[in-house]
Amino acid sequence: MEVHQILASVRALLDEPNTQHPTERHLWTIAIGAIQNYHNELQETGQNWDIGSWQLNCTKDVDEYPVLAPNFGKPLYILSYNPDPDIAERSIPIVDIQNRDFPPALRGGHAWSGWDAENSATSVAFYGKGPLAGNHYVRVRPRPKGPDKYTIWYKLGPLPANQLNTELLLPEHHHLLMTRIAIAALPYCRWDDLDKQWIPQKVAMLTQSLMFQNQQYQDSFDRYRTNLRQEVITPRALFGGSDW
């Protein structure tokens, strides 16, 4: 379900209030916070939700590039790219900017030589310049010796403003989002066919109904996230080398 469909359903849950109370801008502001919180809750499960990819095209002797990936959030991993199917792609370590010049062996990695020579990077660092969001840069080491190419996989950042056609994750839980947004928007609602003296009573009745629905959807969502967390639990070595 897309965002504009969710907002239309929210107005239905609110019994079709006046289009200016709340305004579309006000409703969208509430929705942005609710949607971002919904995504944050999913990220806490340890699953890789909302992943994007972007190809970094390097130029000879140029080691710093702006990150032009759409809605870039956090880098996950990087693979070398070569159109030749006989050349295996390899993972490039992501390091802190202050460690970019350390030899791979000192970082616990491996030095590569003679294999996929067209993509010779042994490390990549991401960093920002200044406090502005989206001001991301990537630095490749060693300096490229030719037109190297790498595929960068990353988690998406916050939902862009006014993207009403964005389709959200897990449509089976979108009713939770609708009730959250509707509850937050209730104090701003007015109805054309209702005298002001009856507004508090209507708000109270809608609040009771929406809170009941929200609790049901929240319980279902919590069980879903709990099951996802259990699925990503993996054994780890104890002292002495035994596993559990």
> DSSP assignment of 67-95, as one string?
---TTEEEEEEEEE--S-TTSPP-EE-EE
Residues 169, 90, single domain; the answer is no
- Single pTM value for the model: 0.66
> Domain count of the chain?
2
Residues 40, 123, single domain; the answer is no
Backbone angles phi, psi at 75, to 5 degrees: -70, 140
Last residue of one domain, picked from the residues 135, 156, 177: 156
Position 242 in a domain: no
Looking at per-residue pLDDT, the higher value among 103 and 6 belongs to 6
Residues 175, 207, single domain; the answer is yes
123 close to 95: Cβ distance less than 8 angstroms: yes
CA distance 41 to 221: 10
Residues 17, 74, single domain; the answer is no
35-63 confidence digits (pLDDT tens): 888 888 887 777 777 788 999 999 999 99
Mean pLDDT of 59-83: 89
Amino acid at 84: D
Position 240 in a domain: no
Position 141 in a domain: yes
Last residue of one domain, picked from the residues 156, 172, 202: 156
Residues 19, 102, single domain; the answer is no
Furthest-apart CA atoms within the chain: distance in Å:
80
**Domain region containing 100:** 51-156
Last residue of one domain, picked from the residues 138, 156, 174: 156
**Which strands, in side-by-side order, build the sheet including 123-128?**
64-66, 136-141, 123-128, 94-95
Token duo for residue 214? 């929200």
> 3-7, 124-128, 210-214, 239-243: which range is least confident on average?
239-243
Residues 205, 165, single domain; the answer is yes
pLDDT at 47: 75
Residues 223, 126, single domain; the answer is no
Q: What is the pLDDT confidence band of residue 146, given thresholds at 50, 70 and 90? A: confident
Residues 71, 149, single domain; the answer is yes
